[in-house]
Structure 1
C-alpha cells in the first residue's frame, strides 16, 4: 500500500513539473515574438518609417474626406517638375467638363488617369495640370500637389492652387457633398500652411477666356468666402 502511494506521488509530481516546463516555454516564446515585433530604437530610420505620422496626415484623417494620393490612383511619373514655393495667395477653381461626375472611388481614379493621359499625351504637358481634384465620391485626389507648380491657369500657375471639381457644371451644380468637400479642402489648405489666410478665390474664367468652371458652379463660388472680382 505504501509503495502504491509513493508511485502515485512521483507520477503526480512529474505531471506538475511537465506542466510548469510547458508554461515556461510558451511564456519565453511569446516574449521573443513581442521583442521581434518592436523596432530597434538604435535603428532610427526603421523606427521613423514605421511609426512617424506627420501633422498633415493627422489633420487629413480628422476630415470627412480622404486624400487619395497619386500612388493610389496609379498616376504616371511626370516628365519634369518645377518646385512650388508656398503658401499660395490664390485658389483657381475649375470643372473638368469631361469626364463627367464620378461617384465611386474606382470611377474617380479612372477619371484622374484619363485627364492625366489627355494632358500629357494630348497637350504634351509634363503631368496632369491641376493641383488637386474633388470627386463625386466625396474624396480629394492629389494632382501635382502642393509642392509642384501646376499647369491650369497661365500667369497664376506659380502662385495658386488649382482645384478641380470633376464634372460638367455649366447648367447644374455639383452634388452638395462635392461643394462641402471643396470648401473644407480650401480650409484645410489654410490650416496646413499651404494657402495664405488672406487668399483670393477666382473661377478659371476670371483669369482666362473660358467657360470654366461652368455657369452654375461659377455662380455658386461667387458666394464663397474670399471670392473676389477680377
Structure 2
C-alpha cells in the first residue's frame, strides 16, 4: 500500500503502518459514510473493544465481516458509518473503519477524544490469537509514530466507562496487564478535553 492512500469513502488520506497491514475501506468494500466529522489528534485515550460477532482469519472472511458490521451499524443502529476507528482480524491485519482522525461511534461520551480498536469476535471465554493481539499493539505504536496517539496515552476497555461486557472477560483481563492500562482501582477514568482538529492535508 502507498504511504498515503486516498480513499474517497473515508475522508483524509490513510497513512501506512510499517509493522502491520491496513486493509483500506476500498479494499474491504465499504459503503460511503453518511457524514464525516473530525477530531483533533493526538488523542490521549485508546479503547479496546470486541465486536461480539463472528471471528475471521482470512482477508476474504474479515472483509465480509466488515461489511456485515457496517450494515449493522449504519442500517440497524442508524449511525453514520461503522463505529470503530479500526477493526482487527485474526488474520493479523487491521481494517480501516473511521481511521485515525474521524470521530467514531464506539464509546459513548468519549468518541471525540479517543481512538478505538475492536477485535472481530467474542472474547468472553477465550483470547484472540497472537496475530490479532500483535496487530493491536502494532497499530497503537504506529498511531504514536504518526502523531495520532499521544505517547503517554491511557488504555481502557469499553467496560471501564460503560455498562457493557465489552471487550469480553478474557480480553479485558489481558489488557489490564498492558503497560498503558489507565484505570486505578474503582475510580472512573476522567475524560480529557477535546482538542481542535487541524488538517495537515
**TM-score (ref. length: structure 2):** 0.83
Whichever structure has more helix as a proportion of its residues is 1
SS of equivalent to 2:112: helix
**Displacement of 1:206 after TM fit?**
0.4
* Structure-2 separation of matches of 1:87 and 1:53: 19
Q: Give the alignment's TM-score, normalised by structure 1.
A: 0.73
Aligned with residue 168 of structure 2, among 197, 201, 214: 214
1:149 and 2:103 equivalent?
yes
1:123 matched to 2:77: yes
- Paired residues of 2:158 and 2:167 also in contact (CA < 8 A): yes
Instruction: Provide the residue aligned with 2:123 in structure 1.
Output: 169
Quote the Cα distance in structure 1 between the aligned partners of 2:15 and 2:174.
30
Instruction: Say yes or no: does 1:90 pair with 2:45.
Output: yes
Alpha carbon RMSD of aligned pairs, Å?
Answer: 1.6
The equivalent of 2:34 in structure 1 is: 79
Post-superposition CA distance 1:12-55 (Å, at most 9, x none):
xxxxxxxxxxxxxxxxxxxxxxxxxxxxxxxxxxxxxxxx845x
- Runs of 4 or more, structure 1, over 4 Å off, are 56-59
Name the structure 2 match of 1:12.
none
1:85 Cα deviation from its structure 2 partner: 1.1
1:200 correspondence with 2:200:
no
**Partners of 1:147 and 1:181 in 2: how far apart?**
19
Structure 1: distance between partners of 2:14 and 2:73: 29
Q: Which residue of 2 aligns with 1:17?
A: none
Write the distance in 2 (CA, Å) between the matches of 1:58 and 1:80.
Answer: 21
Specify which of 23, 31, 55 is matched with residue 101 of structure 1. 55
- Any idea what SS the aligned residue of 1:200 has? strand
Q: Kindly provide the CA deviation profile for residues 59-107 of structure 1, in whole angstroms up to 9, marking residues without a partner as x.
A: 62x31x2110111011010111111211111001100111x21011000
Which piece of structure 1 moves more, 77-86 or 199-208? 77-86
Cα separation, 2, equivalents of 1:174 and 1:211 = 16
User: How many corresponding residue pairs?
Assistant: 175
Q: Using the alignment, how far apart are the partners of 1:57 and 1:80 within structure 2?
A: 18
What stretches of structure 2 of length at least 5 have no aligned partner? 5-12, 189-201
Q: Secondary structure at the match of 1:72?
A: helix
Contact between 2:83 and 2:105, CA under 8 Å: does it hold in 1? Answer: yes
Q: Distance in 2 between matches of 1:152 and 1:220?
A: 20
The gaps in structure 1 that reach 5 residues or longer are: 1-51
2 CA distance for matches of 1:58 and 1:144? 13
Larger Rg: 1
